[in-house]
Amino acid sequence: ARATLDPRAPRLRATLTLAPLDFAPSELQPGDLTPLLSDLANVSGRLQAGVAVDWAAGHPKTDGRVELNDLQFDYGEGVRVSGLSGLLAFDSLWPLQAPPPQELTAARVEAGIPMTELTAAVGVTTPPESELPRLQIVSASAQAFGGRLTLEQGLIDLEANREEAILGLESIDVAELLAVLDLPDVEATGRISGEIPLRLEGDTVTIGGARLAAEAPGTLRLTSDAAKEALAAGGASVELMMQALEDFQYETLALTLDKPAEGTTLLTLKLLGQNPEVLEGQPFDVNVRLETDLAPLLLALSEALALTDEAFGRLWRLRR
């Protein structure tokens, strides 16, 4: 530590540089330093921090630097992060402010979905009337499902218990995605792109107009007897369509999803294509519009988002 007192002007400048902390399983763990980080397990890698305090005219100005070097850790049951590096420069510690963009990278993150080559530009701000900081994810991207996942306008607001982001999909391999979602009776190939504006407030998930479309022709196999029974009353053409969908070669596929906080969720699916076995490849132009005022497919989604909220909630919970 180094402190200088300037006799002429009542001002004290002190800089404190922490010796680098090398974490290793069964040796130093962050949980030993602060209970706030006790949820991180099997931590390895180096962290270096430095704080500078500058008293001028009575009010202290504090800033700090935290350098992460190839950190690896597990969090909760499902999350494993490795190769996390980056520099966080805080221009104020109380309240916590680290203006974006602060660049972070990670080699791999397992959170139900395997993601690699992650980069993110983040920022930490603590709005005046609030005690808990807000994490902004200006932009982030990762390789996943044979394509790329991106994230824009990400915000984790602990005070308001609200998270939102625009999730982008770039040529995602549908077969790999379905493997993780493991939807019964649905198989597909092809690549889809698009975006999903997401928001999680408390337990309520909202999707503000997701748009996804296949980039090129592919195949779709829908073999759900339940669907067939449910649509049995639809008449001959519907029955033909269901037969075609058992091994459908689609030219175009487009999906939209809108789920307000309350009320009706609307899913639309547009398919153009044919099944060589059905009427010698008779083309079908299918437009499905599905309304439900429940959100069946969003349980996994809200859990994933809740995980991040809880994760950051614990990491940043300042004692009241």
Partner 1 sequence: QSAEDLKRRGLAGETLQGFLVARDASASARVDAINAERRQVYEQRAAQEGVDVGTIGQIYAREIIEASPPGTWYQSSSGQWVQK
Partner 2 sequence: CQPRVAVEAPKEPITINLNIKLDADVRLRLERQAEEDIQENPDIF
Contacting positions for partner 1 (CB under 8 A): 202-205, 261-262, 294-299, 301-302
Pick the closer one to partner 2 by CB: 160 or 279. 279
Query: 238-257: which residues touch partner 2 (CB under 8 A)?
Result: 238, 240-241
Pick the closer one to partner 1 by CB: 205 or 245. 205
Does the protein bind partner 2 through residue 283 (CB under 8 A)?
A: yes
- CA dihedral for 310, 73, 301, 120, sign (positive or negative): positive
- Using the rule CB under 8 A, which residue among 179, 183, 230, 232 binds partner 2? 230
Does the protein bind partner 2 through residue 263 (CB under 8 A)?
A: no
- Measure the CA–CA gap between 221 and 243, rounded to whole angstroms: 10
Residue 192: closest CA among 222, 149, 224: 149
Does the protein bind partner 2 through residue 34 (CB under 8 A)?
A: no
Residue 286 binds which entry of partner 2, partner 1, none, CB below 5-8 Å type-dependent: partner 2
- Using the rule CB under 8 A, which residue among 129, 263, 291, 319 binds partner 2? 291
Residue 204 binds which entry of partner 1, partner 2, none, CB below 5-8 Å type-dependent: partner 1
- Measure the CA–CA gap between 97 and 89, rounded to whole angstroms: 9
Residue 203 binds which entry of partner 1, partner 2, none, CB below 5-8 Å type-dependent: partner 1
- Measure the CA–CA gap between 301 and 238, rounded to whole angstroms: 31
- Write down the least CB distance from residue 160 to partner 1, Å: 14
Question: Which residues in 113-127 are b (16+ Cβ under 10 Å) and which e?
Answer: bebeebebbbbbbbe
- Write down the least CB distance from residue 213 to partner 2, Å: 18
Question: Which own/partner pairs from 120-126 qualify as long-range (CB within 8 Å, at least 24 positions apart)?
Answer: 120/151, 122/98, 123/98, 123/99, 124/88, 124/90, 124/96, 124/97, 124/98, 125/97, 125/98, 125/99, 126/95, 126/96, 126/97
Instruction: Write out the residues near partner 2 by the rule CB under 8 A.
Output: 230-231, 234, 237-238, 240-241, 272, 281-294, 296
